[in-house]
Amino acid sequence: MQNPIIAPSLLAADFSQLQKEFAMINESQAEWLHLDVMDGVFVPNISFFTPVLQAVQRYVKKKLDMHLMMVEPEKFIKRCFYLGASSVTIHYEACNHLHENLYYIRREGGRAGVAINPHTPVDVLEDVIQMVDLVCVMSVNPGFGGQAFIENTYHKVERLKEMILRKRSNALIQVDGGVQLQHVRKLVESGADVLVAGTSVFGEEDPLHAIRQMRDVAIKASLAMHNVR
Footprint on this chain of ligand DX5 (rule: CB under 6 A): 9, 11-12, 34, 36, 67, 140, 142-147, 176-179, 196-200
User: Considering 36, 65, 133, 193, which one is annotated as catalytic?
Assistant: 36
Kindly tell me which residue out of 62, 67, 111, 183 binds Zn ion, with binding defined by CB under 5 A.
Answer: 67
Q: Does 62 bind Zn ion (CB under 5 A)?
A: no
Q: Does 91 bind Zn ion (CB under 5 A)?
A: no
Q: Which residue, 50 or 126, is less far from Zn ion as judged by CB?
A: 50
Q: Does 39 bind Zn ion (CB under 5 A)?
A: no
- Residue 176 is among the residues annotated as catalytic for this protein: yes
- Residue 123 is among the residues annotated as catalytic for this protein: no
Q: What is the nearest approach in angstroms of Zn ion to the Cβ of residue 136? A: 7
Q: How many other CB atoms are found less than 10 A from the CB of residue 221?
A: 19
C-beta contacts of 177-182 below 8 A and 24+ residues apart: 177/138, 177/139, 177/140, 177/141, 177/142, 177/147, 177/149, 177/150, 178/139, 178/140, 178/146, 178/147, 178/148, 178/149, 178/150, 179/139, 179/149, 180/149, 181/210, 181/213, 181/214, 181/217
Residue nearest to ligand DX5 (CB): 198
| Interface with Zn ion in residues 103-132 (CB under 5 A) | none
Contact 167, 130 (CB under 8 A): yes
Catalytically active residues are 36, 176
